[in-house]
Amino acid sequence: MFSKFKDALPGMMTLRLINSFNEIASHSSSHNSNTHWQSLVDHGYNFLIFPSTSNQYQISSRYIDTELSPRAFGAYVSLLVLNHWATKMYEMEDNRLSQYFSYHFHDSKRYLVDHCHELKIDAFEANLVIRLVE
């Protein structure tokens, strides 16, 4: 599932990217999300994954406290990770990788909203995820 990033990322950065999913997931919810990830969508610049649990996830942000389904939570974490890496690469002055992750972030956001029913995520939840990451 993460093989698309191996070609773009040098050395051990792919492992750091994978670890980012577990780290951000555990900081985003009180639920133990150190679990196996499954693919929601992985083609082109669209990349969304979700944890293999059936539990709801409690999310608390500055303005929104809510509960997300596992698929919506996975989309939320995926977008946070992609945006985090785009910012991180920008700060490291690696414009190529910054753009690469930025494209993934923006295209995946658009895909989430446009194809939420295919992804088995309610339209309300998809829009809520977008609000949470902005």
**pLDDT per position as a tens digit, 81-129:** 999 999 998 998 989 989 999 999 999 999 999 999 999 999 999 999 9
Tell me if 11 is assigned to some domain. no
95 within domain boundaries: yes
Write the single-letter amino acid at 38: Q
10 lies in a domain? no
Query: What is the pLDDT at residue 87?
Result: 93
Is residue 112 in a domain?
yes
| Predicted pLDDT of residue 108 | 93
Q: Is residue 20 part of a domain?
A: no
23 in a structural domain: no
> How far are the Cα atoms of 67, 97, 104, 115, 121 from residue 27, in angstroms, in the given order?
15, 25, 22, 27, 22
pLDDT at residue 34 above 60?
Answer: no
Would residue 15 count as lying in a domain?
no
- What's the total number of domains in the chain? 1
Q: What does pLDDT average to over the chain? A: 85
Residue at 46 is within a domain: yes
Q: Which domain holds residue 82?
A: 37-51+62-134
For residues 75 and 111, is the Cβ–Cβ distance under 8 A?
no
Highest mean pLDDT among 10-14, 29-33, 95-99: 95-99
Residues 6+ apart with CB under 8 A from 123: 113, 116, 117
